[in-house]
């Protein structure tokens, strides 16, 4: 009896070993090969059906043919979903981190609530010119055919994705300010306040030279036409715009970091493009080592008369070295005071780490874009990036002081992770956002006028965030409590620093009844439709009577000049969301 049991055990063991061996050697249709890399099968890749060519071609209706673990209708941001590239399967032994890298916790953006003006009449926040959230939303809706995760919807980045027709600033000012108030489209009892900042355009003859470090992720997770392939095409567009006064260095990182080019003149385009063409994806992701190497190289080649900037292109999946976002942020914060800016370009989906990239770009006095197709690459590398690379004002803070006699309640729409303590407005040690040449920033408040205040109003937040110690104030401006004129609704205060200065300058402007419009301007009409769309995607508790039909009607009526077709594309996104949001 014992012998029979033992014999049966060995038979089962042999069958088990044979089965494991067969699974390990399997290598077809997107399986894992002997070298640990994913080998695409006949089914193609995740982005094969996505529009990366003809900008006039329609988006696909679905993406059922993927060749990866993605299933139509599955949320790429959900736990358990990962693209095959993010495994970085070459890591083993000493290359493995001592503990597994964890994706940063979701941003958990808690919407700004209503604030009683009688309790706290001052609201302070940093500007934000990032646009990545909008492009990510588009990717979810048009490629994945899926509603975007609510915590990736940052309304300010959606609104600021688009251009608006604001006037150029007066001589000596870094930006102009446009202020408008009109009825709220989603709540007839409320008003909507819009602020628009327009950065000054630089004279082409006065544009400083570029001193750039391309920091490029070539780890295994960057494999694919929508990642390293699209990255190469994108950087080549930037290279074509450089001249002999510009300098380019290239740092790459996978299992470790290395310098591919060191301060090559921008007119040596063939040499730079050849270096880009040679890039191949493979290995683990030593992102922190790459960042450190790039900053060291940028500091070595620093020129006080140039635009000194690192351009990091990655999917953010750091898993070797410092992979804690807090440590990386601390390191970058210590480096930003050397006059070196950081721009981040995100590529790919699946294990894409949106929050990490946003935090790093914020820490590095830079901007954050997401590149999902070649058309977006054209937009960024021929317009957006070239503008934001020339910083005309840094640490730009806005502080709105509401007149309690005119405005009973207010709430800031978006900018949740840019809200600052009121005390920070005068503290020049507190970091804030930058605005580039020719760039625009738009922000909205929803307000309840005192005369319209209902008996019961929405929930109110009354505890302002604690801040740091105030620094020296602008000697030309008294920061005492604002005194309002009879027709003043609010005062918009602004602080900013010249790019090479550490002491801020002050300016302000007052909103009166002259700024109240019977009908929204074209700028406000379109921008507010984008904000309303964001509230619907977030399923905001403040959305009131918002609807996709309302968004579409107002956006169509205010579409204006749409030279590049991005506003028309916005209508497609709204239609798709309307269909998916059941």
Question: Could you tell me where the DSSP H helices lie in 341-392?
Answer: 354-363, 374-379, 385-388
3-state secondary structure 137-193: HHHHHHHCCCCCCHHHCCHHHHHCCCCCCCCCCCCCCCEEEEEEEEEECCEEEEEEE
Torsional sign, CA 212, 218, 221, 222: positive
> What pLDDT score was predicted for residue 348?
82
Query: What pLDDT, in 10s, does the model give residues 66-118?
Result: 333 333 334 444 333 333 333 333 333 333 333 333 343 445 689 999 999 99
Rounded Cα–Cα distance for residues 70 and 144 (Å): 9
Rounded Cα–Cα distance for residues 497 and 397 (Å): 10
Q: Calculate the CA dihedral of residues 6, 7, 10, 15 and round it to 10 degrees.
A: -140
Rounded Cα–Cα distance for residues 398 and 430 (Å): 13
Model pTM greater than 0.85?
no
**Three-state SS at 287:** helix
Q: Strands 433-436 and 391-402: what pairing?
A: antiparallel
Which parts of the chain register pLDDT below 70? 1-108, 255-256, 284-287, 317-325, 350-352, 386-388, 452-482
Q: Contact, 234 vs 381, CB < 8 A?
A: yes
Element holding 14 (H helix, E strand): helix 2-24
Compute φ and ψ for 211, nearest 5 degrees: -125, 95
Does 208-389 match 115-202+392-462+482-580 at the fold level? no
Rounded Cα–Cα distance for residues 133 and 531 (Å): 13
Write the burial class of residue 24 (CB in 10 Å: 0-12 exposed, 13-18 middle, 19+ buried). exposed
**Three-state SS at 548:** helix
Rounded Cα–Cα distance for residues 474 and 488 (Å): 23
CATH code for residues 115-202+392-462+482-580: 2.60.40.1230
Rounded Cα–Cα distance for residues 185 and 205 (Å): 44
**Three-state SS at 95:** helix
> What pLDDT score was predicted for residue 18?
42
Chain Cα centroid distance, residue 298: 23
Tokens matching residue 131: 């646009």
Rounded Cα–Cα distance for residues 391 and 434 (Å): 7
What CATH superfamily classification does 208-389 receive? von Willebrand factor, type A domain (3.40.50.410)
For the chain, the structural domain boundaries read: 115-202+392-462+482-580, 208-389
Torsional sign, CA 315, 317, 320, 325: positive
Q: Strands 247-253 and 257-265: what pairing?
A: antiparallel
Residues 6 or more apart whose CB falls under 8 angstroms from that of 325 comprise: 104, 355, 356, 359, 360
> What pLDDT score was predicted for residue 351?
64
Tokens matching residue 289: 């080592």
Residues 6 or more apart whose CB falls under 8 angstroms from that of 514 comprise: 487
Rounded Cα–Cα distance for residues 18 and 566 (Å): 56
Rounded Cα–Cα distance for residues 481 and 469 (Å): 18
Compute φ and ψ for 472, nearest 5 degrees: -60, 135
Rounded Cα–Cα distance for residues 538 and 541 (Å): 9
Tokens matching residue 351: 């294990």
- Which DSSP category does 286 fall into? -
Find residue 217's DSSP bridge partners. 253
Compute φ and ψ for 303, nearest 5 degrees: -130, 125
SS3 content of the chain, % helix, strand, coil (to 5): 30, 25, 45
> What pLDDT score was predicted for residue 436?
87
Compute φ and ψ for 262, nearest 5 degrees: -130, 105
Compute φ and ψ for 239, nearest 5 degrees: -60, -40
Q: How far apart are the first and last CA of the chain?
A: 63
Compute φ and ψ for 11, nearest 5 degrees: -60, -45
Residue owning tokens 């009577």: 545
Of 308, 356, 300, give the one whose Cα is nearest residue 329. Answer: 356
Rounded Cα–Cα distance for residues 385 and 369 (Å): 9
């Amino acid at each position: 009896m014992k012998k029979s049991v033992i014999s049966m055990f060995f038979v089962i063991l042999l069958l088990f070993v044979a089965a494991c061996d067969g699974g390990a050697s399997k290598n077809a249709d997107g399986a894992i090969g002997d070298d640990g890399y994913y080998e695409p099968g006949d089914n193609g890749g995740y982005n094969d059906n996505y529009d990366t060519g003809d900008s006039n071609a329609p988006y696909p209706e679905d993406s059922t043919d993927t060749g990866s673990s993605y299933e139509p209708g599955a949320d790429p941001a959900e736990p358990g979903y990962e693209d095959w590239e993010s495994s970085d399967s070459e890591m083993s032994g000493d290359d493995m981190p001592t503990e597994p890298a964890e994706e940063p916790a979701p941003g958990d953006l808690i919407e700004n609530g209503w604030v009683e003006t009688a309790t706290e009449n001052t609201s302070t926040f940093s500007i934000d010119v990032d646009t990545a959230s909008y492009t990510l939303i588009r990717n979810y809706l048009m490629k994945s055919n899926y509603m975007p995760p609510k915590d990736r919807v940052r309304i300010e980045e959606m609104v600021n994705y688009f251009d608006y027709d604001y006037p150029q600033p007066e001589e000596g000012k870094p930006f102009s300010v446009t202020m408008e108030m009109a009825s709220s489209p989603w709540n007839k009892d409320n008003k909507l306040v819009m602020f628009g900042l327009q950065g000054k355009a630089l004279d082409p003859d006065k544009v400083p030279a570029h001193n750039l470090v391309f920091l490029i992720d070539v780890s295994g997770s960057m494999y694919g036409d929508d990642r390293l392939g699209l990255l190469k095409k994108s950087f080549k567009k930037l290279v074509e715009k450089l001249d002999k006064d510009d300098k380019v260095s290239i740092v790459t990182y996978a299992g470790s970091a290395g310098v591919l080019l060191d301060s090559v003149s921008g007119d040596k385009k063939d040499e730079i493009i050849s270096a880009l063409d040679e890039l191949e994806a493979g290995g683990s992701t030593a992102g922190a080592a790459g960042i450190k190497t790039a900053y060291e190289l940028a500091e070595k080649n620093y020129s006080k008369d140039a635009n000194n900037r690192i351009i990091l292109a990655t999917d953010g999946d750091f898993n070797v070295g410092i992979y804690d976002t807090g440590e990386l942020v601390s390191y970058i914060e210590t480096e930003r005071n050397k006059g070196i800016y950081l721009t981040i370009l995100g590529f790919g989906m699946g294990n894409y780490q949106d929050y990490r990239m946003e935090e790093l770009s914020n820490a590095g006095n830079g901007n954050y874009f997401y590149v999902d197709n070649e058309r977006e690459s054209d937009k960024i590398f021929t317009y957006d990036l070239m503008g934001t690379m020339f910083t005309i004002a840094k640490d730009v803070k806005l502080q709105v002081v509401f007149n309690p006699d005119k405005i009973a309640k207010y709430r800031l729409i978006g900018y949740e992770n840019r809200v600052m303590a009121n005390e920070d407005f005068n503290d020049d040690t507190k970091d804030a956002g930058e605005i580039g040449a020719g760039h625009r920033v738009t922000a909205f408040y929803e307000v309840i006028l005192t005369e319209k205040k209902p008996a019961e109003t929405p929930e109110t937040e009354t505890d302002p965030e604690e801040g740091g110690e105030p620094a020296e104030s602008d000697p030309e401006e008294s920061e005492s409590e604002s005194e309002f004129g009879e027709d003043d609704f609010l005062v918009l205060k602004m602080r900013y620093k010249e790019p090479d200065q550490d002491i801020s300058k002050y300016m302000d402007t007052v909103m009166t009844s002259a700024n109240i419009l019977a009908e929204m301007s074209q700028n406000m009409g379109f921008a507010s439709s984008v904000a309303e769309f964001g509230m619907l995607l977030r399923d905001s508790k403040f959305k009131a009577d918002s609807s996709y039909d309302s968004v579409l009607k107002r956006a169509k009526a205010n579409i204006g000049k749409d030279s590049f077709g991005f506003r028309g594309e916005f209508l497609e996104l709204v239609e798709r969301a309307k269909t998916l949001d059941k």
